[in-house]
Each structure stands twice: as C-alpha cells, then as structure tokens.
Structure 1
Amino acid sequence: MGYAVVFGEALVDLLDTECDGVPVYRQAIGGGPLNVAVGIARLGGAAQFVGSLGDDALADRVRAFLTTAGVGLTGTVTAAVPTTLAVATFSGAEPDFRFYGEPPSYALLNPEDLDVTLVEGADVLYCGSIVLLSPATLAAARRAWSLAPGLRVFDPNVRPRLLSGPAALAGLRAVVAEFAAGAHLVKLSTADAELLYPGEPVESVAAYLRELGAGTVVVTLGAAGAVVAAAGTDPVRVPAPKVVAVDATGAGDSVMAALVADLLGAGEPADPTGWHERVAFALRVAGLVCERAGGAVAMPTRAEVAERFTS
C-alpha cells in the first residue's frame, strides 16, 4: 500500500462547553485536512501531512499529536507565528467556527516550500479547505495538483466567515471549479453546495461537478446520508446509520478519510455500486465520529467501526 499526501491546514479548535456551570473552551487539535490525515491513519492507511505550523507550544502539541497518530510530517514547514485558533460555538451538534490569528499559521507554505519528491511519490493527493483562500498556499496547492501522478481528491470545506463578500465567494467558486475539473473524487457538504450554488438541488450540484471533469462526487447530507454521483449512473442517495450525535465536528472529514483510505487499499471502484458501498462504510465512520466529542480525536479504527455497526 502506498501513501496519501494531505495538503491543508492544522490549527487548534477551542470548543464551547461548560465546567461546573461556567462557560469554558475545551482545546482540541483540528483543521479539516488534519482530521482527514488522522482519519486515514486510524483506518490503516499511510498519510503525510503537508502544511505550515506555528512555533509555539500549541504547534508542538499539533506535531506530537500527528506523530502519535502515525501521520508523517516530512512536508510540513515551521513559521515564526502563533498557532491559529478556531473558536467553535454549537447549534445542537453542529459547530460554527470563527478564526483568530494573523497571519494564519496554516497559510504560510509557499510553492517553493513544497516537497516535490513527497508529492510525486504519493498514490493519493488531497487538497482543499481554507488554505485555498490564501494566495501563497493556493499557489502551492496548484503546484502539488499539477505534480501528483496518482489519484487527486478535493474537498472545498467552505468556511463562510472567512469570505469577505460576493467577490470572495465568486473567486472561491472559480477555484472549486478548477480543482474539481482535475479531481478523481470530490467530497463536499450540503452547506458547501448551498453556499457555492444557491438554490440548486444537491443532485444537480453533483452532476455539475462531474460535468466539469470530476470522476466521482459525494455530497454529504448529515443525518440523511450522502448523494453519490459516479460515472455511468444518475446521482444516488446512500442512507446514513441512525446515531445520537453529540458533536459533528470532523464528521465530513471522516467521510473523506474513509474514502481515501479505501482508495489507498484498493484503488478506484470498478463500478458505481462499489462507490455506493464505500460511501456506506464512510457514513458509518462518520456516525461513530458524531457519537464522540471532538474532531481528530474522534477518528475511529476499522475495528471500532465494525464493533459499533455489527449488522
């Protein structure tokens, strides 16, 4: 089995909670791509995280966490800035993030910093999330995308609070189209689809991204499961298992992690049914993540998934 390069951000989440009736923030290692890298490793795949980290105690915790999780840091650079904080408040189990730290510690990897040998040796390259909003890291992501010899997967992972207005949204929409056109797999959430393509049904969004050139598109629907658009068939809805969600942080990332781990282990499915089966497994992974607190720390092993969902 080869390895996946996961290009994107790592930061620290501060999750709104209570202790003895007093509001407090619980610290958790986070960042969508970091969650993906950890999820791949927990599911038995090999992952290399590529991005920039700060030089403070929080960044040291991020490095230690990734190393303990079995995620490689060969392609990661250090910048002399404090670690970006993502402060999360909740509406039910769904987090709402606001980001603190300027310049962002996650957006300081330039194209010349890219470990070309690492990227060129990868079987799967993941790009996406909020690093695409920074010109320097967007340029680095484009370089990685152009060099990747294997499968390319993409997740826009939109954070509306980082978009300054209609022009920024239009710019992101163009970037999404650019990466989707060269992707073997695109994963996005219902919230991503609604923000990028207002008023369009998720099936239409999935079909549109396939028309741009994406091989397979998966749109996650939360408790309703996911829409899967694969070559040769109309979009199909795959149901999610019934769970009692306590924290949905990282659920979408775990879907991507499961799909990438299976791509590493077995390559692309031979037919749409194979994609439907893989997405069904990925939704079980996400269901277990939702039953746990936190993002990266909630990523399960295959044994844990099998034990939780025995039928």
Structure 2
Amino acid sequence: MKKVFCIGELLIDFVAEKQGSDLSKATYFTKKAGGAPANVACAIAKLGGRSVFIGSVGDDPFGTFLLDVLRENRVDVSLAQRTETFTTLAFVSLAENGERDFVFSRGADKELQYNSAIKSEFAGNLIHLGAATALLGGKLEEAYGHYFFDGLTKKSFISFDPNYRADLWKNKQQNFAKKCMTFVEKADLCKFSLEEAQLLSGKEDVAEACRFLHEVGTNIIAVTLGASGTLISTREFQETVPSIKVKAVDTTGAGDAFIGCLLQQIAALTNTDSLAGDRDLLVSMVAKANKAGAITTTNYGAIESLPDQEQLSA
C-alpha cells in the first residue's frame, strides 16, 4: 500500500447547525476539525490506507486539538508544523438541507515552510494537493509549489482538488482559475465540483468542460454532482456514475470523503500507468467513492462522519 501525502490546510470549523445557511443569523457554534486536505488524509486512513499530512497549525490549544484528531484517525502527522501564528478558523453555517455558508479567519495554515528533505519520500507514492487556501500567497503557496515540483520529479501520482471557496476569492475568480491551471496541466487526477469545472474551463456544459481540461493536460477528471453522482472523464470516455440515495444533513466533507476513498483505492494498485484507460476499474472505484461521500453527508462534521470499510461494505 503506497502512502498518500496530503498537503494544505488544517483548521477549526466552527459549525452552526440547523440555523440556516446565513451566518449573520447564527447564534451558537460547535467546534470541529476541518480543512479539506486533512479531511482527505483522515478519509484514507479510516479506510485502511496510509496517509501523511503536511500543513501548519498554531502552537495553541486549537492546534493541539487538530493534531490530536488526526492522530486518533491514524494519520501520520510527523511532517506537520506548528507556528506562533494562531490556528486558522472557519465559520460554517448549515441549512436544514445541508447547504453551507463559509467565512474564513486565516492564520497558521499560511505559515507552512518548505522542507526539502521530504522530497525523497515522494518516490513511488501519491501526493494530494488541496488548494482551498494554498494559492492565496505567502509561505504556504511557495511550499505548495515546491512540493508539487518535487512530486513531478519523483514521478509521484498527483491528485489536485481546487477546493474553491468564494469567500476567499471575491472578485479574483480568474486569478484563481489561472493559478489552478499549473496543477491541472500536470496532475494525474483532478477532482472538481461542477462549479469548479465551469469556472476553470469557462464552459457551462460539464462534458465540454472536461474536454477542455483534458486539453490542458490532466488524464483523469472526476466531477462530483451531488445526489446525481459523479462524472468520470478521461481522454477515451466519459460516464456518469450514480450515487446512493441518503438523507443529507451536512454536505461538509462529502467531496473530501469521495477523493479520499478514490485515492485509497488507487494507492492499493501495483501500477497506475494504465489507470486512465481502464474504464471498468475507474467506474468501480468511483462508485465506491460515491458511497463514501454520500455516507459522510448523513451526520454532522466531516471527519467523524467519514466511513470505514465496514460501513462501505454494508
């Protein structure tokens, strides 16, 4: 089983449950561990995979809490860093149907320092790059770019998820799209929401969006479509893989559960060179990943709602 190095933010989600999707109306919040790359790392580990988190948290009680949560979920945090800057916070409001409103208060995540000694560990393994805060400048973006280049030189299997957050990119959507293209060009696998696929490609039709993004460079694209399932796209085929029906109460982390489950399966493969051409295998993997994402929406909070293999097999 190969390792998956998950690079990006780890933060506190203060979640306002069942108070509508308008944060201005929320009055009480519950503390949860969050951050898309950290969620992915936990999703992989809970399914029996090997995940390593690379990111930065504050040297404060919230940072301690976050690292403890990852350890409890069997994620390797030996490469995580701590800084005097306060841990990053996100405030999330949830409506009855599970839809969300986000506001971020950035802190320690942006202080990640590049560690050149890690490069040798990437050989033969996977790298997952979650970009929610990683493309906003500063030390994190610099380190993120270095690790991406290291992964390319070590011939790692590279997964990229833009994790677009409108609150972080107001009036800068085109700048976000431009920065993402560097990763889309070289990544083996890209996971997009429908909104992200449309934003990055400039195409409304999802099939056309995927064709455009394949021209940019990536071989495998998964576009998550919520209850409708996932469009899996390669240069040879496109197919929408249905999901299972569930009663969603919180969609936070569903996409992370999906990509984590998909990466856990890819990490178990002896060889990934022919993956893009294996339609049956990809569809089977995506169907399982869809189930992982759906199960995650049936409870509150991302990490504690992530399924294990027993739940996936039920």
> Under a length normalisation based on structure 2, what TM-score does the superposition of the two structures give?
0.90
What root-mean-square deviation, in Å, do the aligned CA atoms of Structure 1 and Structure 2 show?
1.8
- Match of 2:63, as an amino acid? A
Report if the CA contact (8 A) 1:18-1:24 is conserved: no
In the alignment, which of 135, 158, 161 is matched to residue 164 of structure 2? 158
Is 1:271 equivalent to 2:275 in the alignment? no
Q: Is the 1:284–1:305 Cα contact (8 Å) retained in structure 2?
A: yes
Residue in 1 that maps onto 2:129: 127
Which of the numbers 228, 232, 235 marks the counterpart of 1:231? Answer: 235
**Which residue number in structure 2 is paired with residue 241 of structure 1?**
244
Report % sequence identity.
Answer: 27
Distance 1:10 1:119 in 2: 21
Deviates more, 1:244-253 or 1:188-197: 188-197
**2:298 is equivalent to residue 298 of structure 1:** no
Equivalences, count: 299
User: Partners of 1:217 and 1:224 in 2: how far apart?
Assistant: 16
Q: Check if 1:260 corresponds to 2:263.
A: yes
Counterpart of 1:3, as a letter, is K
Distance 2:116 2:124 in 1: 13
CA contact (8 A) 1:230 1:275 kept: no
1:139 corresponds to? 142
Using the alignment, how far apart are the partners of 2:158 and 2:17 within structure 1? 37
Unaligned runs of 5+ in 2: 20-25
Deviations for 1:75-110, whole angstroms, at most 9, x for unmatched residues?
211110211111011242122210124xx2111113
Q: For residues 73 and 286 of structure 1, what CA distance do their matches in structure 2 show? A: 24
C-alpha contact 2:99 2:251 (8 A) present in aligned 1: yes
Question: After alignment, is 27-36 or 116-125 more displaced?
Answer: 116-125
TM-score, normalisation: structure 1: 0.91
Looking at structure 1, the residues matched to 302 and 285 of structure 2 have their Cα atoms a distance apart, in angstroms, of 21
In 2, Cα distance between the equivalents of 1:6 and 1:226? 22
Contact in 2 for aligned 1:75/1:118 (Cα 8 Å):
no
Shift of 1:114: 4.9
Q: What do residues 197-219 of structure 1 show as CA deviations (whole Å, max 9, x unaligned)?
A: 45521112222111111010000
Would the aligned equivalents of 2:211 and 2:235 in 1 still touch at CA under 8 Å? no
Structure 2 counterpart of 1:286: 293
Aligned counterpart, 1:96: 101
Question: In structure 2, what is the Cα distance between the partners aligned to 1:294 and 1:115?
Answer: 34
Match of 1:2 in 2: 2
1:303 positional shift:
1.0
**Greater Cα offset, 127-136 or 236-245:** 127-136
One-letter amino acid of the structure 2 residue matched with residue 55 of structure 1: D
In structure 1, list runs of 5 or more residues that go unmatched. none
1:114–1:289 CA distance, 2 compared to 1 (3 A): farther
Rounded to whole Å, the distance in 1 between the matches of 2:303 and 2:200 is 26
8 Å CA contact 2:9, 2:56 repeated in 1: yes
